[in-house]
């Protein structure tokens, strides 16, 4: 019971930290990392629900499946977000922190 | 029952492989989707609501798909609007590719549009059909990813920024939703909506779960004050993408939200909570309308109009139960159907105007009536539905809202609804009158021969939203047939 | 579907289908467009006359279409709808001929005539509406189909006028919607029946019903141009003359007045209104409108604006007649004025359009001696003006006579005062025009003389006002005969059992 509580609490704290960072910091990379931390937090809580102390019955496999699915989704989404962040940087006259850049933007190459 | 999901999914993958035949594949998939949904409707009318256990696994372990009245009407809406958007997109890209200056850029856009749109369609169908809350998370993510990529497709700097923000918001929404799912699972250990509906009891855990689910879905549905991401994303996307986003994507998460509030958690939802949602909806109506009136660009105006119209959907929260449990869904279904058709028609019309004139500044839109008569017609008829004038579907929804609010003596909602419609007519007619202006020395030339695919799908959808009021008994009948709980069970994956 | 239902649908389709086809026609196909229009209107008149005969002999025409529980579309041919429908269709035929002549050479005629046909379809729909929801449906559609006609010229002024028109009309429509929904919530879904809803509701919901009545009258009062909701009408004069003729004689203003008639006779019923005691309110508003608009008309120099204020004033006679609903004579006067005012006002607007189109005359001060140049037009104008003042044997005299008798019988002395004063004022603002035209001397060349030929102007512009002026005289002379508007109105009042 304590284990579950500890894991769940940690997960919630991670979730909260992620949300905080997502709102406060403006650097896109930070935001993406924040989202990752949030998803890790949720997965942690999920794993915690699957916890059964030794010898008290079978482990519940459903949360494990959910976490696996979630990790896959998280990876693909992170990839997409990173590409979008790069595109944002390439096509705007601002660097990633939103400050004006010196020099020209690279011309749009044909893709 | 899995064909509405599998067909577009396969089509999307095929579109990635065969980048030359994308339109044929996509059109075939859209038509097949429509046929499948019609078949499902027929099945619903004959057999009643159905459940399909995927792979033969029973719940609570297995994932079920369900068809019932509301889900099927949303599927129909998606299929019909999707078909029209497919045709329009073809016309749009053909027109753009014919322009030699940026042909390669538009070729690239087209290459990626079709598979992404098919994936989005698969995700939407999955969302409407799923009966399992984790499966719903997966479909929500699928929709979010494809939608964000589609929004980024236009390549403009502002759209890249907007789509990045859209993706972040979408992820925040999904993760909050997932946290809600986790809470539910912790409390009850099941993921199936039917089982959850029967066993939910009141308690702080349930309320927390409902709150989390709602916040997540509200972020995705862009209710005030969580709507900030919508106007830039919808306005700066390509015209067919704007239509898809405004008409279909936001409806998906709303559908889920309504289902949770009124079916799964019906016993723990309190009147103050419903009134709170209604109040947010009212603020959304006013805020969106006022912002729409201030816009200088046509597409931004239409995007803010979406923010405003979504508020109507939420005003239905405190009013849906007035007639008893039988027709809880009727108001929102009519509103959603009418808005989907009208808003996509309006975005399509805006896109055609943009293609024709090269810009969408509202004050320079003069004289369009002469060169694009069909498009202006489509815009006008779509505007009628947005204003809620008879006999459109918007009017039916407005009538039901007004009746419910006056019968239950919550007359303040009636005031909000009426004022909202009047505000809508202001911002809609602002553009309309510019269409009709004849600038000095205007030479009345023949209308430019645009591809019919650019003009007629918009007109067809607009007419559909106008006549929705006249065919109103049919959706109501589908809702009535599909709401009993005697469900047919189909083991395995059918059809 | 029996033949009666087919008849009702065909009446609506006979102008709807030509309208849709005309939208698709290329701009150059003038003759095809004219033929379509004329065929459509002739078919419509014939069908409506068939329906009238059927109604006279007691046949019922009804077609229902349920929408959602509580909302049902109902088209119904009863004597009152026959009156309005016949008036609209006959005047539409004449206005079409006039419009073809007036707009010769203007751009964008396909759209104009398309919206024109749709407008008439919707007006007939209002006439045939059998319950408040159907009435509301066609009422709002009337706003939408007349808006493009008002802004047809595309100038800044027309756009401003159109915007004002929309603001008034849509707000009125919103108020009307709330009133209809509230009424339905109180008394349940009701069709138009001769006695209105059951009187038992008055005991329980008296104040709410009074409020709803006020809201309903506001809703239709915008289109009927009751003061202070009349602001859109003088500005809408910027539209071409056929549109003004249509708006003022046939479609919009009459639809509002027809709405008042329906609300008083069919929705509430005479008995309930007497119980509720709101009739003096209606009478008061009508009287204020009559007097105020007449005074404003005196101040106008622009001919069409003077006619606009005259319309505002005259249409309120109908409301005045309705406010004395316990007196059959007053109701006859109000109802028959629906027809008579339409005929007279359309004559006047046709003539005003002729003057503007042929000679470029827009202001009364420019009209000196114009009767020598355009005698036939001014004869028609004079007949219309005499009718407005109420001089026998024009039809205007007939309606005022009945209104006066009704006022006398009910003992409300102020009705007589209002009638007398307004007739005086009518004379004050019409007679100077006539004296100037007939007896004045021409002051220099006409502003923009356009047409010099054997007839004083294009035939298509000349014939319609002459026809309507003739009817104004003839219907007045044969008012007591079997086939006059008055006879039909007497038939209606008998049907209502007043």
DSSP string, B179-227: HHHHHHHHHHS--BHHHHHHH---SHHHHHHHHHHHHHHHHHHT-TTS-
Query: Any CB–CB contact under 8 A between A111 and chain B?
Result: yes
CA distance B366 to B362: 9
φ, ψ at C443 (rounded to 5°): -100, 85
Q: How far is B329 from chain A (nearest CA, A)?
A: 31
- CA quadruple A73, A75, A79, A85: dihedral sign: positive
* Residue B480 placed within a domain: yes
Angle, to 10 degrees, between the axis of helix B133-152 and the axis of helix B103-129? Answer: 170
**Which residue of chain A has the CA closest to B134?**
A66
The structural domains of chain A, ordered by start, are 2-91 (1.10.287)
Contact residues, chain B, for A18 at CB < 8 Å: 175
Q: Which residues lie across from A81 on neighbouring strands? A: none
φ, ψ at B224 (rounded to 5°): -55, 140
**Subunits adjacent to chain A (3 or more Cβ pairs under 8 Å):** B
Query: Any CB–CB contact under 8 A between B421 and chain C?
Result: yes
* Residue B179 placed within a domain: no
Instruction: Please confirm whether the linkage preceding B225 is cis (ω < 30° from 0).
Output: yes
**Contact of chains C and A by CB distance (3 or more pairs under 8 angstroms):** no
CB contact under 8 A, B168 and A111: no
Residue carrying the six token digits 């798909």: B65
Structure tokens at B354: 């943009």
**Subunits adjacent to chain B (3 or more Cβ pairs under 8 Å):** A, C
C390 torsion bin: left (phi>0), alpha (psi -120 to 50), beta (else):
left
Query: Any CB–CB contact under 8 A between B414 and chain C?
Result: yes
Contact residues, chain B, for A8 at CB < 8 Å: 186
- Nearest Cα neighbor of B263 from B255, B275, B271 is B255
Taking the CA of residue C236 as centre, how many other CA atoms within 13 Å lie in the half-sphere pointing to its CB? Answer: 34
* Residue B495 placed within a domain: yes
Q: How far is B424 from chain C (nearest CA, A)?
A: 11
Taking the CA of residue B188 as centre, how many other CA atoms within 13 Å lie in the half-sphere pointing to its CB? Answer: 22
* Residue B475 placed within a domain: yes
Whole-Å CA distances, B63 to B55, B191, B234, B344, B482: 8, 8, 33, 33, 20
Q: How does B219-248 read in b/e, with b if 16+ C-beta sit within 10 Å?
A: bbbbbbebbebbbbbbbbbbbbbbbbbbbb
Q: What are A52-89's pLDDT values in tens digits? A: 777 777 778 888 889 999 999 999 999 999 999 988 88
pLDDT at A109: 38
**Which residue of chain C has the CA closest to B371?**
C108
- Nearest Cα neighbor of A97 from A26, A23, A21, A34 is A26
Q: What is the DSSP letter of C449?
A: -
Contact residues, chain A, for B160 at CB < 8 Å: 84, 87-88, 91-92
* Residue B285 placed within a domain: yes
Q: What count of other Cβ atoms lies within 10 Å of the Cβ of residue B194?
A: 18
Strands B50-53 and C71-77: what pairing?
Answer: unpaired
* Share of chain C residues as helix, strand and coil, in percent rounded to the nearest 5: 75, 5, 20
Structure tokens at A54: 């030794």
Burial class (CB in 10 A: 0-12, 13-18, 19+), C329: buried
Structure tokens at B16: 């990635």
- pTM of the complete model: 0.88
CA distance B297 to B230: 15
Q: What count of other Cβ atoms lies within 10 Å of the Cβ of residue C388?
A: 29
Residues in chain B: 495
Domain count within chain B: 1
Q: How far is B4 from chain A (nearest CA, A)?
A: 22
CB contact under 8 A, B178 and A70: yes
Task: Identify which of A38, A42, A84 has the shortest CB distance to residue B152.
Answer: A84
**Which residue of chain A has the CA closest to B179?**
A42
Burial class (CB in 10 A: 0-12, 13-18, 19+), B271: exposed
- Confidence label for C29 from pLDDT (cuts 50, 70 and 90): confident
What's the maximum distance between 2 C-alpha atoms anywhere in chain C? 70
Measure the N-to-C terminal CA separation of chain C; round to a whole number of Å: 33
Residue carrying the six token digits 């809880």: B328
Cβ-Cβ contacts under 8 Å between B and C: the total is 79
CB contact under 8 A, B389 and C173: yes
- Nearest Cα neighbor of B128 from B263, B266, B5, B310 is B5
What SS3 state is found at C326? Answer: coil
CB contact under 8 A, B164 and A91: no
Q: What dihedral angle (degrees, nearest 10) is formed by the CA atoms of C227, C229, C232, C233?
A: -40
Query: Any CB–CB contact under 8 A between A96 and chain B?
Result: no
Q: How does B355-394 read in b/e, with b if 16+ C-beta sit within 10 Å?
A: bbbeebebeebbbbbbbbbbbbbbbbbbbbbbbbbbbbbb
CA angle B156, B159, B165 (to 5 degrees): 150
Residues in chain C: 498
- Nearest Cα neighbor of C182 from C149, C158, C208 is C208
CB contact under 8 A, B185 and A35: no
CA distance B130 to B71: 9
CA distance A60 to C416: 92
**Which residue of chain B has the CA closest to C175?**
B418
Contact residues, chain B, for A61 at CB < 8 Å: none
pLDDT by residue for chain B (495 residues), tens digit each? 777 888 888 888 888 888 777 788 888 888 888 888 888 888 888 887 888 887 777 777 778 888 888 888 999 999 999 999 999 998 888 888 877 777 777 888 888 889 999 999 999 999 999 888 999 999 999 999 999 999 998 878 888 889 999 999 999 999 999 999 998 888 888 888 888 877 767 777 788 888 899 999 999 988 888 888 898 888 888 889 999 999 999 999 999 999 888 888 877 788 888 889 999 999 999 999 999 999 888 999 999 999 999 999 899 888 877 766 566 788 888 889 999 999 999 999 999 888 888 777 887 777 777 778 888 889 989 998 899 888 888 898 898 888 888 888 788 888 999 999 999 999 998 888 888 776 665 555 555 567 777 888 888 998 888 888 888 888 888 887 766 544 445 544 444
* Residue B140 placed within a domain: no
Strands B488-491 and B50-53: what pairing?
Answer: parallel
φ, ψ at B358 (rounded to 5°): 85, 0
User: Testing the interface with B: which of A36, A87, A96 to mutate, by most B Cβ within 10 A?
Assistant: A87
CB contact under 8 A, C140 and B389: yes
CB contact under 8 A, B185 and A49: yes
Burial class (CB in 10 A: 0-12, 13-18, 19+), A61: exposed
C457 torsion bin: left (phi>0), alpha (psi -120 to 50), beta (else):
beta
Structure tokens at B418: 């009426």
Structure tokens at B223: 């209710």
Structure tokens at A103: 């020099």
Long-range pairs, B276-280, Cβ under 8 A, ≥24: B277/B314, B277/B317, B277/B318, B278/B314, B278/B315, B278/B317, B278/B318, B278/B319, B278/B413, B280/B223, B280/B224, B280/B225, B280/B311, B280/B314
Q: What are C250-275's pLDDT values in tens digits? A: 788 999 999 999 888 888 887 888 87
Q: What count of other Cβ atoms lies within 10 Å of the Cβ of residue C299?
A: 10
CA distance B65 to B128: 9
Query: Any CB–CB contact under 8 A between B473 and chain C?
Result: yes
- Confidence label for A99 from pLDDT (cuts 50, 70 and 90): low
Cβ-Cβ contacts under 8 Å between A and B: the total is 85
* Residue B266 placed within a domain: no
CA distance B227 to B304: 9
User: Testing the interface with A: which of B100, B168, B182 to mutate, by most A Cβ within 10 A?
Assistant: B182
- Confidence label for C359 from pLDDT (cuts 50, 70 and 90): confident
Contact residues, chain B, for C140 at CB < 8 Å: 389-390
The larger pLDDT score, comparing residue B101 to residue C308, is at C308
CB contact under 8 A, B156 and A60: no
Instruction: Please confirm whether the linkage preceding C228 is cis (ω < 30° from 0).
Output: yes
Q: How far is C148 from chain B (nearest CA, A)?
A: 8
Q: What is the DSSP letter of B56?
A: G
Query: Any CB–CB contact under 8 A between C351 and chain B?
Result: no
Are C429 and C294 within 8 A, CB to CB? Answer: yes
Query: Any CB–CB contact under 8 A between B403 and chain C?
Result: yes
- Confidence label for A93 from pLDDT (cuts 50, 70 and 90): low
**Subunits adjacent to chain C (3 or more Cβ pairs under 8 Å):** B
The parent domain of residue B465 ranges over: 279-495
CB contact under 8 A, C163 and B403: no
* Residue B448 placed within a domain: yes
Q: How does C5-42 read in b/e, with b if 16+ C-beta sit within 10 Å?
A: eebbebbbbbbbebbeebbebeeeeeeebbebbeebbe
Q: What count of other Cβ atoms lies within 10 Å of the Cβ of residue C53?
A: 11
Q: What are C180-208's pLDDT values in tens digits? A: 988 888 887 778 877 777 777 777 777 88
């Amino acid at each position: 019971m304590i284990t579950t509580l500890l894991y769940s609490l940690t997960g919630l704290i991670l979730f909260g930290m992620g949300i905080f960072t997502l709102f406060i910091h403006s650097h896109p990379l930070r935001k993406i990392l924040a989202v990752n931390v949030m998803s890790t937090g949720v997965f942690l809580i999920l794993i915690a629900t699957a916890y059964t102390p030794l010898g008290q019955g079978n482990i519940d496999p459903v949360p494990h499946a959910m976490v696996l699915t979630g990790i896959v989704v998280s990876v693909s989404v992170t990839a997409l977000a990173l590409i979008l962040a790069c595109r944002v940087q390439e096509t705007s006259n601002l660097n990633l922190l939103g400050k004006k850049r010196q020099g020209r933007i690279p011309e749009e190459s044909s893709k | 029952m899995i064909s509405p999901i599998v067909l577009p999914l396969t089509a999307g993958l095929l579109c990635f492989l065969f980048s030359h035949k994308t339109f044929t594949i996509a059109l075939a998939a859209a038509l097949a989707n429509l046929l499948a949904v019609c078949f499902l409707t027929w099945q619903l009318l004959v057999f009643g609501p159905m459940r399909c256990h995927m792979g033969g696994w029973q719940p609570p372990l297995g994932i079920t798909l369900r068809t019932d009245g509301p889900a099927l009407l949303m599927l129909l809406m998606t299929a019909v609007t999707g078909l029209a958007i497919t045709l329009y997109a073809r016309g749009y890209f053909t027109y753009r590719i014919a322009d030699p200056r940026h042909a390669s850029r538009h070729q690239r856009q087209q290459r990626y549009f079709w598979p992404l749109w098919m994936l989005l369609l698969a995700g939407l169908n999955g969302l409407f059909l799923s009966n399992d809350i984790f499966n719903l998370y997966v479909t929500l993510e699928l929709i979010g990813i494809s939608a964000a990529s589609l929004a980024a497709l236009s390549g403009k700097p502002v759209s890249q920024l907007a789509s990045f923000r859209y993706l972040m918001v979408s992820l925040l929404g999904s993760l909050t939703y997932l946290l809600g799912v986790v809470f539910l699972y912790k409390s009850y250990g099941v993921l199936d909506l039917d089982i959850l509906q029967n066993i939910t009891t009141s308690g702080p855990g349930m309320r927390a779960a409902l709150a989390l689910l709602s916040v997540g879905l509200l972020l995705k549905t862009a209710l005030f004050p969580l709507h900030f991401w919508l106007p830039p994303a919808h306005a700066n996307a390509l015209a067919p993408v704007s239509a898809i986003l405004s008409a279909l994507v936001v409806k998906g998460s709303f559908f889920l939200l309504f289902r949770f509030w009124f079916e799964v958690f019906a016993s723990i939802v309190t009147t103050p909570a419903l009134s709170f949602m209604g109040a947010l909806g009212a603020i959304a109506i006013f805020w969106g309308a006022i912002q729409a009136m201030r816009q200088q660009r046509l597409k931004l105006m239409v995007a803010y109009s979406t923010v405003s119209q979504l508020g109507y959907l939420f005003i239905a929260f405190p009013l849906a139960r007035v007639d008893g449990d039988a027709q809880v869904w009727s108001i929102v279904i009519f509103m959603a159907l009418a808005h989907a058709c009208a808003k996509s028609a309006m975005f399509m019309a805006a896109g055609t105007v943009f293609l024709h004139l090269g810009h969408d500044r509202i004050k320079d839109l003069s004289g369009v009536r002469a060169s694009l008569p069909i498009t202006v017609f489509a815009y006008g008829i779509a505007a009628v539905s947005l204003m809620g004038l008879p006999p459109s579907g918007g009017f039916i929804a407005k009538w039901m809202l007004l009746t419910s609010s006056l019968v239950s003596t919550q007359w303040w909602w009636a005031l909000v609804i009426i004022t909202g419609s009047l505000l809508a007519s202001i911002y809609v007619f602002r553009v309309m009158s510019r269409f009709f202006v004849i600038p000095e020395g205007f030479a009345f030339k023949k209308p430019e021969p645009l591809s019919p695919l650019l003009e007629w799908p918009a007109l067809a959808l607009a007419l559909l939203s106008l006549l929705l009021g006249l065919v109103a008994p049919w959706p109501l009948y589908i809702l009535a047939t599909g709401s009993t709980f005697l469900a047919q069970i189909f083991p395995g994956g059918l059809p | 579907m029996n033949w009666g239902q087919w008849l009702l649908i065909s009446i609506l389709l006979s102008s709807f289908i030509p309208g849709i086809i005309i939208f698709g026609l290329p701009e150059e196909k003038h003759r095809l467009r004219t033929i379509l229009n004329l065929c459509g209107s002739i078919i419509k008149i014939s069908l409506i006359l068939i329906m009238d005969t059927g109604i006279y002999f007691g046949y019922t025409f009804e077609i229902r279409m349920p929408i959602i529980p509580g909302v049902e579309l109902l088209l119904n041919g009863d004597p009152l709808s026959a009156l309005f429908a016949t008036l609209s269709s006959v005047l539409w035929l004449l206005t079409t001929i006039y419009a073809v002549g007036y707009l010769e050479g203007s751009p964008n005629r396909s759209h104009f005539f398309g919206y024109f046909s749709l407008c008439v379809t919707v007006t007939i729909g209002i006439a045939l509406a059998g319950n408040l929801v159907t009435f509301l449906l066609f009422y709002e559609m009337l706003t939408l189909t007349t808006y493009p006609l008002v802004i047809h010229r595309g100038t800044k002024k027309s756009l401003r006028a159109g915007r004002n028109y929309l603001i008034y009309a849509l707000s009125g429509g919103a108020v009307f919607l709330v009133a209809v929904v509230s009424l339905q919530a109180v008394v349940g879904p009701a069709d138009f029946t001769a006695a209105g809803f059951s009187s038992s509701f008055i005991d329980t919901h008296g104040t709410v019903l009074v409020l709803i009545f006020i809201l309903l009258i506001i809703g239709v009062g915008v289109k009927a141009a009751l003061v202070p909701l009349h602001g859109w009408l003088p500005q809408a004069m910027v539209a071409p003359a056929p549109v003004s003729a249509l708006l003022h004689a046939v479609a919009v203003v009459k639809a509002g007045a027809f709405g008042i008639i329906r609300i008083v006779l069919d929705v509430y019923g005479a008995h309930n209104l007497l119980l509720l005691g709101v009739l003096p309110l209606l009478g008061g508003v009508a009287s204020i409108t009559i007097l105020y608009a007449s005074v404003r008309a005196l101040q106008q120099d622009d001919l069409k604006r003077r006619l606009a204020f005259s319309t505002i004033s005259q249409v309120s006679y109908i409301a005045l007649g309705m406010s004395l609903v316990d007196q059959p004579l007053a109701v006859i006067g109000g109802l028959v004025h629906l027809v008579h005012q339409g005929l007279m006002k359309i004559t006047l607007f046709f003539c005003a359009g002729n003057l503007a189109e042929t000679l470029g005359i827009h202001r009364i001060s420019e009209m000196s001696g114009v009767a020598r140049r355009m005698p036939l037009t001014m004869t028609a104008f004079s007949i219309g003006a005499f009718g407005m003042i109420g001089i026998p044997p024009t039809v205007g005299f007939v309606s005022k006579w009945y209104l006066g008798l009704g006022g006398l019988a009910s003992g409300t002395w102020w009705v007589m005062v209002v009638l007398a004063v307004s007739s005086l004022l009518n004379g004050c603002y019409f007679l100077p025009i006539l004296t100037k035209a007939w007896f004045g001397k021409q002051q220099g060349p006409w502003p923009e003389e356009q047409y010099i030929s054997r007839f004083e102007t294009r035939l298509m512009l000349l014939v319609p006002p002459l026809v309507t002026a003739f009817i104004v005289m003839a219907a007045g002379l044969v008012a007591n005969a079997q086939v006059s508007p008055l006879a039909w109105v007497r038939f209606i009042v008998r049907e209502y059992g007043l």
